[in-house]
Structure 1
Amino acid sequence: MTSEKARAGFNVVLLVIALAGLAAGLGLSLAGKPDFARAAWMAGVVPVLLALAVEILRSLWRGEVGLDVVAALSMSAALAFGETLAAAVVALMYSGGTFLESFAEGRARREMHDLLSRVPRTATRHRDGRLDEVPLDEIAPGDLLLIRQGDVAPVDGVIESERAVLDQSAMTGESMPVRLICGQEVMSGSTNAGEAFDLRASRRAAESTYAGIVRLVEDAQRSKAPMSRLADRYSILFLFVTVTLAVAAWWTTGDPIRAVAVLVVATPCPLILAVPVALVAGLSRAAHFGVLIKGAKPLEALTRARTLILDKTGTLTDGRPQIVSIEAYTALPSTEVLRLAAAADQASKHPMAQAIVAAARAKNMLLPVPTDIGELAGEGVTAVVDGHSVIVGGMDFVMRRIVTPAVLKKPPKAGTALVAVAVDGQLAGLLVLADRLRLEAKDFLSGIRRNGVSRILLATGDRRVVADAVTEGLGLDGARAELTPDQKVLLVLSERKNGPVMMVGDGVNDAPALAAADVGVAMGARGAAASAEAADVVLLVDDLGRLLAGLEVAVRSRHIALQSVAAGIGLSVAGMVAAAFGYLTPVQGSLLQEAIDVAVILNALRALRISPDWPQRITDPPQAAAI
Structure 2
Amino acid sequence: MVTSAHLPAHPTATARPGKIFLSSRDGVITVATLVAIVIHLVLWLGVGLEGWARDWPLVLVVVVGGAPLLVDVLRNAIRTRGGADTLAAVSIATSVALGEWLVAAIIVLMLSGGEALEEAATKRATGTLDALARRAPATAHRVGGEEVAVEDVAVGDELVVLPHELCPVDGEVIAGHGSMDESYLTGEPYVVSKSKGAQVISGAVNGDTPLTVVATAPARDSRYARIVGTLREAEENRPPMRRLADRLGAWYTVIALVLGALGWAISGDPMRFLAVVVVATPCPLLIGVPVAIIGAISLAAKRGIIVRNPGMLENAAQVTTIMFDKTGTLTYGRPSITDIHVAPGFEEDEVLAAAASIERYSRHPLADAIRGEAAGRGLELPDVAAVSEKPGQGLTGEVGGRFLRIANRRTAVELDPASRDLMPKSAAGMESVVLIDERYAAVIQFRDEPRAEAEKFIAHLPEKHGVDKMMIISGDRESEVRYLAGRVGVDEVHAGVSPEGKLAIVRRNNAHGKTMFLGDGINDAPAMATATVGVAMGSDSDVTSEAADAVILDSSLERLDDLLHISARMRRIALQSALGGMGLSVVGMILAVFGLLTPLAGAVAQEVIDVAAILNSARVAMARGPLSDFDED
Work out whether the TM-score is over 0.5. yes
**Which position in structure 1 is the counterpart of 2:366?**
355
Q: Give the secondary-structure state (helix, strand or coil) at the position aligned to 1:37.
A: coil
**Which position in structure 2 is the counterpart of 1:370?**
387
**Which position in structure 2 is the counterpart of 1:580?**
593
* Deviation for aligned residue 1:434: 2.5
Q: Which amino acid aligns with 1:70?
A: V
State how 1:500-579 maps to structure 2 within 5 Å.
510-518=502-510, 519=515, 521=517, 523-525=519-521, 527=523, 537-541=533-537, 543=555, 545=557, 547-548=560-561, 550-579=563-592
What CA distance in whole angstroms lies between the structure 2 residues aligned with 1:37 and 1:442? Answer: 72
CA RMSD of aligned residues (A): 6.2
Of 346, 368, 376 in structure 2, the residue corresponding to residue 330 of structure 1 is: 346
What CA distance in whole angstroms lies between the structure 1 residues aligned with 2:600 and 2:327? Answer: 65
Q: Cα deviations across residues 519-576 of structure 1 (Å, max 9, x unaligned)?
A: 3625232646665676555543364726545544544444454344323322322322
**Which position in structure 2 is the counterpart of 1:150?**
none
Q: Cα deviations across residues 10-43 of structure 1 (Å, max 9, x unaligned)?
A: 21211221343244234565xxxxxx42334432
**Which position in structure 1 is the counterpart of 2:260?**
246
* Deviation for aligned residue 1:421: 0.9
Q: Cα deviations across residues 165-216 of structure 1 (Å, max 9, x unaligned)?
A: xxxxxx9xxxxxxxxx999xxxx9xxxxxxxx9999x99999879x979x88
**Which position in structure 1 is the counterpart of 2:26?**
7
* Deviation for aligned residue 1:232: 4.3
2:274 pairs with 1:260: yes
Of 63, 80, 87 in structure 2, the residue corresponding to residue 67 of structure 1 is: 87
| Contact kept in structure 1, 2:322 and 2:470, CA below 8 Å | yes
| Contact kept in structure 1, 2:470 and 2:492, CA below 8 Å | no
Q: Which runs of 5+ in 1 are unaligned?
A: 30-35, 80-86, 148-152, 157-170, 172-180, 189-196, 347-352, 486-504, 618-627
What CA distance in whole angstroms lies between the structure 2 residues aligned with 1:67 and 1:21? Answer: 25
2:403 pairs with 1:389: yes
**Which position in structure 1 is the counterpart of 2:44?**
25
Of 50, 53, 56 in structure 1, the residue corresponding to residue 67 of structure 2 is: 53
| Contact kept in structure 2, 1:520 and 1:534, CA below 8 Å | no
From the superposition, tell whether residues 358 and 614 of structure 1 become closer, same or farther in structure 2 (CA, over 3 Å).
Answer: farther
What CA distance in whole angstroms lies between the structure 1 residues aligned with 2:504 and 2:121? Answer: 32
Q: Which amino acid aligns with 1:306?
A: T
2:467 pairs with 1:448: no
What CA distance in whole angstroms lies between the structure 2 residues aligned with 1:76 and 1:367? Answer: 89
Q: Cα deviations across residues 231-279 of structure 1 (Å, max 9, x unaligned)?
A: 5465454333323322332433455433332222223554456567866
* TM-score normalised according to structure 2 size: 0.62
Identity %: 23
Q: Which runs of 5+ in 2 are unaligned?
A: 1-19, 170-183, 185-190, 194-202, 376-380, 539-554
What CA distance in whole angstroms lies between the structure 2 residues aligned with 1:290 and 1:67? Answer: 35
Q: Which amino acid aligns with 2:95?
A: M
Number of aligned residue pairs: 534
Of 595, 602, 613 in structure 2, the residue corresponding to residue 589 of structure 1 is: 602
* Deviation for aligned residue 1:59: 3.7
| Contact kept in structure 2, 1:459 and 1:479, CA below 8 Å | no
* Deviation for aligned residue 1:54: 3.4
**Which position in structure 1 is the counterpart of 2:200?**
none
Q: Cα deviations across residues 119-153 of structure 1 (Å, max 9, x unaligned)?
A: 9699999999xxx9999999999755899xxxxx9
Of 444, 455, 459 in structure 2, the residue corresponding to residue 431 of structure 1 is: 444
State how 1:2-151 maps to structure 2 within 5 Å.
5-27=24-46, 36-50=49-63, 51-60=65-74, 63=78, 66-79=86-99, 87-98=100-111, 101=114, 144=162
From the superposition, tell whether residues 429 and 208 of structure 1 become closer, same or farther in structure 2 (CA, over 3 Å).
Answer: same
From the superposition, tell whether residues 115 and 515 of structure 1 become closer, same or farther in structure 2 (CA, over 3 Å).
Answer: closer
What CA distance in whole angstroms lies between the structure 1 residues aligned with 2:368 and 2:71? Answer: 67
What CA distance in whole angstroms lies between the structure 1 residues aligned with 2:556 and 2:106? Answer: 46
What CA distance in whole angstroms lies between the structure 2 residues aligned with 1:593 and 1:5? Answer: 31
Q: Give the secondary-structure state (helix, strand or coil) at the position aligned to 2:94.
A: helix
What CA distance in whole angstroms lies between the structure 2 residues aligned with 1:142 and 1:616? Answer: 50
Structure 1, 530-539 or 18-27: larger mean CA deviation: 530-539
From the superposition, tell whether residues 513 and 389 of structure 1 become closer, same or farther in structure 2 (CA, over 3 Å).
Answer: same
* Deviation for aligned residue 1:424: 0.9
What CA distance in whole angstroms lies between the structure 1 residues aligned with 2:147 and 2:607? Answer: 54
What CA distance in whole angstroms lies between the structure 2 residues aligned with 1:600 and 1:212? Answer: 43
What CA distance in whole angstroms lies between the structure 1 residues aligned with 2:250 and 2:257? Answer: 11
What CA distance in whole angstroms lies between the structure 2 residues aligned with 1:415 and 1:55? Answer: 60
What CA distance in whole angstroms lies between the structure 2 residues aligned with 1:373 and 1:355? Answer: 17
What CA distance in whole angstroms lies between the structure 2 residues aligned with 1:124 and 1:459? Answer: 31
What CA distance in whole angstroms lies between the structure 2 residues aligned with 1:247 and 1:608? Answer: 40
What CA distance in whole angstroms lies between the structure 2 residues aligned with 1:551 and 1:398? Answer: 51
Q: Which amino acid aligns with 2:242?
A: P
Q: Give the secondary-structure state (helix, strand or coil) at the position aligned to 2:597.
A: coil
* Deviation for aligned residue 1:610: 8.7
* Deviation for aligned residue 1:56: 1.9
* Deviation for aligned residue 1:464: 9.8
2:226 pairs with 1:226: no
* TM-score normalised according to structure 1 size: 0.62
State how 1:609-624 maps to structure 2 within 5 Å.
613=627
From the superposition, tell whether residues 146 and 272 of structure 1 become closer, same or farther in structure 2 (CA, over 3 Å).
Answer: same
| Contact kept in structure 2, 1:344 and 1:392, CA below 8 Å | no
What CA distance in whole angstroms lies between the structure 1 residues aligned with 2:563 and 2:42? Answer: 46
| Contact kept in structure 2, 1:105 and 1:280, CA below 8 Å | no
Q: Give the secondary-structure state (helix, strand or coil) at the position aligned to 1:437.
A: coil
